Chain A
């Protein structure tokens, strides 16, 4: 078959130019970045709307229908704002911080199963990749706090460090119980392991789900764990000295993380892109594409996170640490034992 020059170039870009599938490698990152940018715009608007309605006010209203364009104008405004750096600050570290905060939020999406066969790279260490990449975010927050040379920023950064490293442990241990039941760490494998019922419907899965929800709130710096940027105590925490688009990047990263953690919760506990097992009486539900279910479940999880944030007051730092070290860690270790018992009960070969 004859191909025109452009057509053959496109074909070669897909199939491999000198053995490198250029488009095959570039399309996923472009799609993911587009999704993150769009999601951040929508989620910031949603956050303000949800908070408004929870607090008996209306939220953004005037720019576009229901204030939908509010975030767009906000982003444009931040783009043309002067970039003010305090003269005593460490300029390089302050510039690095937004990059270090945002990059992990994008790297998480490498292993995300958006739908059936819709994973960018199905790493066999998927869940470990998620945990380790997400733990890089706090480094950026500490860099921002340190580089700003401001007491508010530094206190916010230090609090954030204490909080995030503490809550990482129950988070990993809660996921450990799920890994035991699934027998794999690959994200596709975790979804496939839930083809009968979601892990949240099993006793160890339910405990792990609740613990993971709490740790996710802590990792997102959301109420009741918003000590790193507690407005009424620390002005704006680690972002106090930031202005212009660097300031915007921190919020972009925050909402990229919110979306990522919602997607992880959906994948690990709620069956990923498969239709919910409680809808088994709807035979048609399996006909809908997996991306549809994934999007619905993710939206619900995002709303739950926002709902919790705007309902609960803030914890004190010693309470925050007590919840983790004296509450969640013993619970998750006990949950691993419970998962052992559950495995023995469900494993049919136990009978022989």
Chain B
């Protein structure tokens, strides 16, 4: 296949999506016919190894999880920008533009590493003790 986009390929992907959902719905539907259904009693309580649950499980979380997620977004966007460059890297070297491509990516990755170092020094990547 050439560089063009064949929309039929994405229809195929969509069919995979539908197929996967149907594949799960069939056994779940079958289970409805076979499985016992006797609600009531203690089995609907939250499982905490036999203890009575104290408070809701929807509580506030350590800020650490959110910091990781924020740093992740920066790096993930960057990864998306690196991939198109990586596809063209060999072609650029062939055309004699290797130095240009390399400098460009060095600047880009350099800014990124600076941000990484900042997050590191600020302790965003340290787990709370």
Which residues of A are in contact with B by a Cβ distance under 8 Å? 25-26, 28-30, 32-33, 37, 79-89, 98-99, 102-103, 105-107, 109-110, 120-124, 127-129, 146, 148-154, 158, 161-162, 165-166, 168-169, 172-173, 176-177, 179-181, 183-186, 188, 235, 240-241, 244-246, 248-249, 317-318, 321-322, 325-326, 329-330, 333, 336-337, 339-340, 343-344, 347, 349-350
Contact = CB atoms under 8 A, between A and B. Distances in A.
Given A26-B15, A172-B76, A321-B125, 9 more contacts: A80-B31, A128-B83, A149-B58, A172-B82, A172-B83, A183-B89, A321-B68, A326-B125, A336-B109
Nearest to B37: A82
Interface string B1-36: 101011011111101110111011001101100111
Contact of B31 (A127, A245, A350): A245
A183 B51 CA distance: 58
Contacts of A169: 72, 75-76, 79
Nearest to A75: B27
B110 to A, nearest CB: 10
A173 B20 contact: no
Contacts of A153: 57
B27 A79 contact: yes
A333 B83 contact: no
Nearest to A124: B3
Nearest to B6: A121
Contact of B76 (A152, A168, A326): A168
The 6 closest A-B pairs by CB, nearest first: A318-B127, A121-B9, A29-B19, A106-B20, A172-B79, A179-B86
B89 A180 contact: yes
B46 A149 contact: yes
* B interface: dominant SS: helix
B65 to A, nearest CB: 6
A122 B82 contact: no
Contacts of A84: 43-44
B48 interface: yes
Interface residues of B, number: 72
Given A168-B76, A321-B68, A325-B125, A79 B12 contact: no
Interface of B: 1, 3, 5-6, 8-13, 15-17, 19-21, 23-24, 27-28, 30-31, 34-38, 43-49, 53, 56-58, 61, 64-65, 68-69, 71-72, 75-76, 79-80, 82-83, 86-91, 93-94, 96, 98, 102, 105-106, 109, 112-113, 116, 120, 125-127
A329 B112 CA distance: 11
B120 A344 contact: no
Given A153-B57, A325-B125, A343-B93, A235 B35 contact: no
Contacts of B96: 349
B20 A103 contact: yes
A166 B19 contact: no
A154 B68 contact: no
Contact of B48 (A32, A152, A188): A152
30 contacts: A28-B12, A79-B27, A80-B31, A82-B37, A99-B24, A103-B17, A105-B20, A106-B23, A107-B20, A120-B16, A121-B6, A122-B9, A128-B80, A149-B46, A149-B58, A151-B48, A165-B68, A169-B76, A169-B79, A179-B87, A183-B88, A184-B87, A185-B83, A325-B116, A325-B120, A326-B120, A330-B116, A333-B109, A336-B109, A349-B96
